[in-house]
Amino acid sequence: MSLLILESSPEPSWSLQLVELQGQCFHPPWTKQQIDQQLAGKRGFNFAWQIDDQLVGYVFYQLLFEQAEIIQIAIQPKFQKQGLAAQLISQSCDYLQQREIEKVLLEVRESNRAAIALYTKLGFVVDGIRSNYYPANGQSKTREHAKLYSLVLAPL
């Protein structure tokens, strides 16, 4: 398994694989156009796990000065619960730290217990709540809060 840095002009198959992975992990998924915009963005940093030329997971970041925000992370369902998301975040944070990024930010649905456990394990701390941020999902008719997390990256 290798960590890839997805550049602004990635291999054409990458965006198609990202679209497919989106469909497996998110409802509604991003469109190919949205993925291509993320990959081409000047402030984006994008990382992926690859096994035998197949993308099995990714994390998208947006950079703003000395901070990076995790925009989205996904691991193929058959590869979940194997520690790949933790490795992906850890290794991508190491890369960002080398580029003098000081802090990583993210937001997560309050009901996403697996993600919250992962972020807590990696050292992220709660910074706040965005009330009624996420639209209702299938199980609830009310909007859901977003928990805001951050991780300070130690200077090298």
Active site residues: 107, 119
- CA dist 33 and 14 (Å) reads 13
Element (H, E) at 83: none
Element (H, E) at 15: helix 12-25
| Backbone φ/ψ region at 122: left (φ over 0), alpha (ψ -120 to 50), beta | alpha
Beta bridge partners of 51: 54
